[in-house]
């Protein structure tokens, strides 16, 4: 079977894509081993870290709001999350305009005891999470671009971790998070693109439009899997990632949250109870530097 990613189609278990993404539950009780794995691989896939029923409740609550808005197919069971075929929408994985979907049940998951205790232990100190939830309800045809997270939130400590929480079962066909294995070791990319700031430099944020390029030119390989309620994929600031394209008629629902030591500097865009978020980068009239110009400057 072929899976869509941007303008490419990849066979599973071929040169470009694998659906075998190793998990780390076997070392979950060994904090030093987890840190070594993160240092080596740039990510930790943990099965069942969240309470699965809490995740499902958050999903149900969000779907209820979407149903009330007419976004779901009234002929399908609501819990399927099928998009309304009679309502035209632009395919997007944007997090903007999602505030009304950020239910209390969602916040109980992403700021709950299991995840906060994990980061207290992993970071060896009191952790904090940014008070902004990057909630995505990605409909048919939606996908996310290829990027490092540091270019969006690198003004404080760079020892920040993204936790990607699938809200429900997400199969590869639904467009889950996909990681570029080995990209956390691309020092020339880290030293150029990885030093940029989208609001300061007005760059476009993503690194490439061509997922095959990262394999052919840099030697990476894209990897994802099927995710279940309760699973998390934790990624550091310097692992290239994106999503596959959602090729189903259902919404792919997920939430990104960020965690760091409370004692370390926080990016001012995401600090405090009411983060100011992005500035010029999120303004509709801002002209950002074309990717081709940026890549030429970076020499990568």
pLDDT at 92: 66
pLDDT at 87: 83
pLDDT at 31: 98
Query: In CATH terms, is domain 2-298 a member of 2.60.120.620?
Result: yes
Euclidean distance between CA atoms 135 and 57, whole angstroms: 15
Find, among 49, 95, 47, 38, the residue nearest to 238 by Cα. Answer: 38
| Region 77-100 average pLDDT | 82
User: What burial letters (b/e) apply to 46-69, b meaning 16+ CB within 10 Å?
Assistant: bebbbbeebbbbbbbbbbeebeee
Q: What is the pLDDT of residues 182-193, one digit of tens each?
A: 999 999 999 999
Is residue 121 within 8 Å of residue 31, measured between CB atoms? Answer: yes
| Paired residues of 255 in beta bridges | 135, 165
Statement: residue 93 has pLDDT above 70: no
| Domain boundaries defined on the chain | 2-298
Q: How many CA atoms lie within 13 A of 99 on its CB side?
A: 5
Statement: residue 234 has pLDDT above 80: yes
pLDDT at 223: 98
Euclidean distance between CA atoms 167 and 105, whole angstroms: 11
pTM of the predicted model, to two decimals? Answer: 0.95
Q: What is the pLDDT of residues 7-22, one digit of tens each?
A: 999 999 999 999 999 9
| Region 270-298 average pLDDT | 93
pLDDT at 29: 97
| Region 231-252 average pLDDT | 98
- Residue 91: which pLDDT band, with cuts at 50, 70 and 90? low
| Region 154-174 average pLDDT | 98
- Residue 210: which pLDDT band, with cuts at 50, 70 and 90? very high
pLDDT at 1: 86
Of all residues in the chain, the percent with pLDDT exceeding 70 is 97
pLDDT at 90: 64
């Amino acid at each position: 079977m072929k899976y869509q990613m941007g303008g490419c189609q990849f066979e599973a278990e071929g040169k470009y894509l694998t659906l075998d993404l190793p998990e780390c539950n076997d070392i979950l009780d060994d904090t030093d081993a987890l840190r070594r794995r993160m240092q080596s691989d740039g990510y930790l896939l943990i099965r069942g870290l969240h309470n699965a029923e809490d995740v499902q409740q958050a999903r149900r609550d969000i779907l209820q709001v979407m149903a009330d808005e007419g976004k779901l197919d009234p002929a399908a069971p609501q819990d399927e999350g099928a998009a309304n075929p009679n309502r035209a929408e632009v395919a997007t994985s944007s997090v903007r305009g999602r505030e009304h979907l950020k239910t209390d049940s969602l916040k109980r998951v992403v700021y709950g005891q299991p995840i906060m205790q994990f980061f207290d232990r992993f970071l060896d100190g009191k952790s904090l999470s940014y008070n902004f939830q990057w909630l995505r309800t990605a409909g048919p045809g939606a996908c996310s671009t290829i990027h490092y997270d540091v270019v969006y939130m690198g003004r404080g400590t760079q020892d920040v971790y993204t936790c990607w929480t699938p809200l429900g079962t997400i199969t590869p066909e639904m467009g889950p998070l996909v990681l570029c294995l080995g990209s956390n070791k691309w020092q020339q990319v880290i030293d150029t693109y990885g030093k940029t700031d989208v609001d300061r430099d007005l760059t476009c944020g993503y690194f490439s439009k061509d997922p095959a390029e990262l394999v052919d030119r840099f030697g990476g390989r894209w990897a994802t899997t099927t995710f279940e309620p309760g699973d998390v994929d934790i990624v550091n600031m310097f692992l290239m990632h994106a999503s596959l394209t959602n090729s189903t008629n259902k919404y792919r629902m997920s939430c990104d949250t960020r965690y760091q030591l409370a004692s370390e500097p926080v990016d001012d865009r995401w600090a405090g109870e009411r983060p100011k978020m992005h500035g010029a980068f999120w303004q509709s009239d801002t002209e950002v530097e074309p990717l081709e110009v940026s890549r030429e400057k970076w020499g990568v």
